[in-house]
Chain A
Amino acid sequence: MLNIAGAVLGYGDRPVLRIPAFDLPDAGHVLVTGPSGCGKTTLLFALAGLVPAQAGRIAVDGTDLATLDEAARDRFRGRRVGLVFQALRLVRSLSVLDNLLLVADLTGRRRDRAAALAALERLGIADKRDARPETLSQGQAQRAAIARALLHRPALILADEPTSALDDAAAAGAAALLREVAAETGAMLVVATHDARIAPGFERVLRLDAG
């Protein structure tokens, strides 16, 4: 699923993270931890094709991202990757249901309304389908974002600090939910966090060191 070899990641000419070698199987879940500024988010962005590697190779689901231009990486992300952010969750001008169908709109795929409604049902927020994002609680918005990330059945789910704004119970619930839905869809789940509360339950932990 994931194959990283000799990768140097960063912004512009400034390297942030070096990963000599790292491989992950086709499914499962891994927690990426480390102190602030160690490059957790940069790694996720690189896996999503948002930040090109300065050197080395990053292959996701058999595709070497370095061989794709920016537009191709965008399309690849839309098809094969699901992203969940800590605070950046839903588009404000769209209802919850339309937020779920957004990936289909952006990638030119058929809008599967029934699947979107089923996903909302599965995550316990079916009654919020027509609600505006600003009317949701943090937990509800996070669930909606998770539902959107899963709707197109991506091979890779990337979650950046998905629980840092949640209380203990909600954080544990969100982490468990991510693992459950990843398992249901057969996706590899990579969660980057400094939130030690959610470490239990993850099959693998990748610890990044500062510098």
Chain B
Amino acid sequence: MTNDSDLRIGVYVCHCGTNIAGVINVKELAEYSSKLPYVVIAKDYRFMCSDPGQEMLKNDIKEYRLNRVVVAACSPLMHEPTFRNAIRGAGVNPYLFEQANIREHDTWCHMHEPEKAMQIAKDLMRSAVAKASKMEPLEIVEVPVKRSALIVGGGIAGISAALDLADAGFEVHLVEKDTTIGGRMIQLDKTFPTMDCSACILTPKMTGVGRHPNIKLYAYSEVKSIEGYIGNFRAKIVRKPRYVIESKCNGCGKCEEVCPVYVPNEFELGLKPRRAIYIAFPQGVPNKYTIDMDKCMKCKLCVKACEPEAIDFNQQPVEEEIEVGTIITATGFDPYDPTGDYGFGTYENVVTGLQVERMLSAFGPTGGEVVRPSDLKVPKSVVFIQCVGSRNFRKNSYCSRVCCMYAMKHARQLKEHHPETDAYVLYMDVRAFGKGYEEFYERAQREYGINYVRGRAAEVLEDPVTRNLIVRAESTELGRPIELDVDLVVLSVGLVPRKDVEEVQHLLKISRSADGFYLEAHPKLRPVDTLTDGVFVAGVAQGPKDIPDAVAQAKAAASGAASLMSRGKVEVEPFYSVVDADKCSGCLSCIAMCPYGAISIQDGKAKINSVLCKGCGCCVATCPSGSITQNQFKDSQIFAQIEALLAER
């Protein structure tokens, strides 16, 4: 316990360029700080986080024999680690540092009230100095990191991350909810702008996953629970019963041929039925059949037809518990459901972009030909309506990023198959931002003759006899309403978070952004980390994006996870709580309150396991005798902050 008389606090006010200095007088704030208790030196400087700024800190610590440092600058969520490392380098315990947030919490949100902003800065400065005066050195806690990773989601992002980590030598557990991996990318026919066949570039990766010695694939499985913390997660995985013995099934398909049950096919988006015993698509990994027991009639005709005798109606779910060091969330998205928009669900010949993908696919419901659902005829004219479900304050306000490009791709493919077809794209803006995208757009207009009409579609009406559609829209270029008489309307639907996004969120204890996708730790500098250490996010799970960006994020997440796992250990903040056994009365109140079960009774007194304790502080507030203190967030420190904040009230 440092004696008050030995406290020597150094205060630094950062200008942050003009971000802070442009609103408040930083020299005045430094001058004010120099008069606060225990402050030995107070300076202002343009950019404290820069190399010279940090050098100055280190030099001052030596010169003025500082044992506490306060920096008034940006948010600690931004630079607390930077400054902690700087003072650590100068021999001061990194937890003897406090950062006053006078940028995000002051100058940035009170830009036009400099006097009030100055008062707030002074209040926050007193609070930080008061806290610093009560801080004690803390030992850094090191925990081991297991050299295995859990990847939730087997789409292109999950697959890319799995292959990278497995190649690096780590053990990978890849869990996929559906009967096979492949995600959304396997539902696509071609990928823009290269027009690569999606299945052709994806299936080698899928088989790579299936074969890799370091990847344990759990298809048709779900993660039931995750406990623990970075480096030491314990996950329970449930393998759902296929009612088919995987080791015996050879994918021959004889069972499918005899199954009398026809139900809507989710993979084909309702364009084609499947049987109760089914395989999602021919190139599935694992290439095993599954019985949808909800729809199965239990006629057991499949059992008779199956030569390897692979069908087992008594199969049970199997639970497995694994221990991993890191987790990557690559759970993907759902397409926006436009039921009720522009006649979708009512008019047969209004379809979604993803349905068009399935029709264009060689192994899809129509063998590669885009046709009108009402009469299976090739359309002579098509309208693509953009931004369906996106950029709309009534639905989703964000832009789904890929629809401009995929509609362009669809229109080009239609024109390639049938050059005489008229294709119109009704758009607000065309976003062709990626590598090769603008050139793709230019060719789409110039060579393929696709008509780009700038205007929103107001409504779609149907001719009940021909089932043709009349699209009423505005052409902003002509400055008047227009009517397009077409055979087929394609709604370019946006990307939305999956139905189970909240369930998975609670499983992983991560946050979501306002748009519903998972929240990254920092939008610019940490786009694949989450705020939960050890848990990463990649692909559309983090927000709408195209395949190149999803793969880039997957590789980034794999790199983040590999960095932790190869180091083998990670520093965890020592903000755990400690019981003073002398004061503890053994009332057991804290034990029930701890969400991590970190408290146990030893010799009649409560004892906290400092590795299990996550530092929430609930037990501290619960304890009726005040026996528990939380490192770095003690009662004395918080009271000091409150008193300091209100000292000039």
> Do A and B come together as binding partners?
no
Residues of B near any A CB (own CB < 8 A): none
